[in-house]
Amino acid sequence: MNIALINELALLFQKLGIDTSEVLVAGSKWNFLPFRPALVGGHCIGVDPYYLTHKAQEIGSHPEMILAGRRTNDQMGQYVATQVAKLMMQRQIAVSGSKRLFSALL
């Protein structure tokens, strides 16, 4: 849920023209948790929430927060790909046929 929240804030900040990293630097409180926007994967974050929500729904519960977090995190791959393609086009790097994406952007 923490990553989903930060991902959702990053999407919102991008639309508002706010640099997410600048906002996160402001986290100087003693209880600040340094989460960063990210693609999520692996088993525990990517798959286990679906098992949990399936079981919850079997017993008549609807885990809205878990499902909302998954929806947010699931859209981040498309968002990142779109942003990278835009950056490549701005720098006049051919998107089609590109193989070494990140080295071309650095």
Name the residues annotated as catalytic. Answer: 44
Q: How far apart are CA 67 and CA 73, in angstroms?
A: 10
For residue 61, count other CB atoms closer than 10 A to its CB.
10
What token pair was written down for 74?
């699931």
H helical segments located in the chain? 2-16, 20-25, 42-46, 48-58, 64-74, 76-90, 101-105
